[in-house]
Amino acid sequence: MKHLILAGILVLLLAAGCSNKSKIRSQAQEVYQQGIELLETGAVNDLLKATDLFRKSVQIDSTFAAGFAQIAITNAYLAGNYNFLSPDKAYSEAIPAAYKAVTLDANLAEGYVAKALIDQYHNWRWLEADRNLKRALEIEPDNVEILLENGWSEIILNKPEEAGKMFERAKQLAPDSPRVRSFLVFEMIYSGRFDEARKHILDVINTNPQDAYGYWDMAVLCSKEGSHEEAIKNLNIQIPLMKGDIADELALLGYNYGRIGKTDEALAQIARLDEAAANGIYVSPVDKAWIYCGVNDKENALVNLEKGFEQRANRMGYDLRFYSFIYQPIADDPRFIELLKKSNLQ
């Protein structure tokens, strides 16, 4: 009888423990979902808020793999794509979070995405990143974000047709997504389909004139086409809409001023970048390199690119290729070629 009573107590304790774990996981998932809902806008402030929510989710449940994965993903975006966080700050949190996610759940697709983004933005290991993204896609073949990241990986590996397939599938699943739209536009620009890209961007701008990223897309397109004055016009519309997150925009603005011979206006953007840095905004050395390329100051361009390499800074890595039109003044310089080699791009 005594043994039966003890067994019954044990069953009750185990049930209570399971119930408590389930409650904790439910609370973590609720907070996590709030963060996920913020990601779709693509706005920096929303990414920052989302990251805080993901941190809260793993504070609630220290075994919640999805929360760790998203901490890594958002940090990688904020450092590697948005030029908002310094690499040392972002990746000191992102790298351990990514590996924690995969350790906790080897079948979590987002864990492999997190590892892939770190390899793309920080380690410049393109094939390893692609392998992790393919693994994520095997787990969740209809996940829009995973399709987009796989498409971008195909661009990095110079497979634009495969990239297009990924992006079109993402568009079928999420036809109104701003993120999908942005990836489609950059694939069009990469593939040289400028007229198609222009039409697509104009549709976005005309539909929502307050969409800052539409003007960025147009400015990149115009810069690559050599329509520098049009690029300047679009950037001057975009910058006031960005609420301070303007380092890349100032860099591209300075580049375009330089290309039309307005050297003073170009170099004025260096001063604006320094002011932004003084106000706490992260400024990659590559931003200054863009401006120096615009005014054909090869030495200062290379010095800043070398700093960018040492720091694993934003706009290094694959962006040396994607924005290759900026680097024409130094494309044949042995130091630039060496940077491409060290970035695994040659």
Q: What is the pLDDT of residues 11-39, one digit of tens each?
A: 544 555 556 778 888 899 999 999 999 98
Residue 17, phi then psi, degrees to nearest 5? -65, -45
Q: Which residues are CB-contacts of 301 (< 8 A; sequence separation ≥ 6)?
A: 289, 292, 293, 327, 329, 330
Mean of per-residue pLDDT scores for the chain: 92
DSSP states of 267-281: HHHHHHHHHHHHTT-
Domains and their CATH numbers in the chain: 22-140 (1.25.40.10)
Contact 151, 160 (CB under 8 A): no
pLDDT at 176: 86
Tell whether the model's pLDDT for residue 4 goes beyond 70.
no
At 63-109, the pLDDT tens digits run 999 999 999 999 999 988 887 889 999 999 999 999 999 999 999 99
> pLDDT digit string (tens) for 235-259?
999 999 987 789 999 999 999 999 9
Question: Does position 7 have pLDDT exceeding 80, yes or no?
Answer: no
Q: Is residue 144 within 8 Å of residue 180, measured between CB atoms? A: yes
Each residue of 173-205: pLDDT tens digit? 999 888 888 899 989 998 899 999 999 999 999
Q: What is the pLDDT of residues 295-328, one digit of tens each?
A: 999 999 999 999 999 999 999 999 999 999 999 9
pLDDT at 89: 92
188 token code pair = 């069009």
